[in-house]
Amino acid sequence: MLQRDTVFKISMLLPLAALAGYFLLLVGSQAAFFSLTGFFEQLSQADIHSAITLSLVAATVSSAVAVAVAIPSAYALARLDFPGKRLVDTFIDLPMVLTPIALGTLILMSWNTAFGSLLASFGLTVPFTMAGVILAQFTVVVAISVRMLKATFEQINPRQEQVARLLGCSAFGSFCHITLPLARRGIVAAVILTWARAVGEFGATVMVAGTAKGQTATLPSSIYLAMSMADLPRAVTLVVILIGISLLVLFGVRMVMEQKR
């Protein structure tokens, strides 16, 4: 029996070790092209500053809007019964299965409709602007946020809300004072992961906002531009920045989830 347990553990650990080694190889491959001096030289350039700032600002705005929309939407899917609920629940997942390029195409096409023309008449221009970056990121990440928060609300015992209602609390009061505090760690995790996904968004952003340096070029699109011009030092610098952001985000999520447990 002991020998079988050992074989079982090895059979589980080997794929894990291979996968971890593969990702270490991917990250470690940057060392051959990385220079600390070159990194700081690239980091001092204005267009890289612009790409970092745009990525962080746009991701913050888009993820904040996405979570603000996702909280009531996820609660409705988790707690309420209404006609067409299954269809709506399925339709909300569409951005998760469509490629970002297809989503970007849909956004551009929608802006050429009468509705898009109406918004444009009020001065709301999306294509090839920062607003386009934010809208593209929001479209990609909102479904992820809804799905994560729906799972969070489903894990909360509805009897606690019912007790609050019996004690005289309104539905809104029960949601604010009972449900949201119980879901706070799930909400924080959703915010962090949504923000990280928004920072790394490329396909829809390029389709909607383009890659104009200093205007709509985010970190991922700047990497694409650098590689298309065979500018490896710049590409490596931007990749290292994204890796640093990703590791910080993952560490933050781990901390939140460990506190939850």
**Burial letters for 66-89: b for 16+ Cβ neighbours within 10 Å, e otherwise?**
bbeebbebbbbbbeeeeeeeeeee
Write out pLDDT tens, residues 91-122.
Answer: 898 888 888 899 999 988 888 788 777 877 77
| CA angle at 250 for the pair 244 and 255, rounded to the nearest 5° | 125
- pLDDT tens by residue, 4-27: 778 888 889 999 999 999 988 888
Go through the chain and tell me how many residues it has: 261
CA atoms within 13 A on the CB side of 99: 6
**pTM for the full model?**
0.84
Is residue 261 over pLDDT 60?
no
Question: At a CB cut-off of 8 Å and minimum separation 6, what does 138 contact?
Answer: 62, 65, 66, 198
Report pLDDT for 260.
Answer: 55
> Token digits for 145?
């946020």
Structural domains present in the chain: 57-214 (1.10.3720.10)
Per-residue confidence (pLDDT) for residue 148, from 0 to 100: 93
Task: Choose the weakest-confidence range: 41-45, 128-132, 202-206.
Answer: 41-45
For residue 24, the model assigns a pLDDT of 87
Stretch 198-211: mean pLDDT, rounded? 90
DSSP-based helix, strand, coil % in the chain, nearest 5:
80, 0, 20
- How deeply is 239 buried, as exposed, middle or buried, from its count of CB atoms within 10 A (0-12, 13-18, 19+)? buried
Q: Which element (helix H / strand E) includes 171?
A: helix 171-174
Predicted pLDDT of residue 257: 67
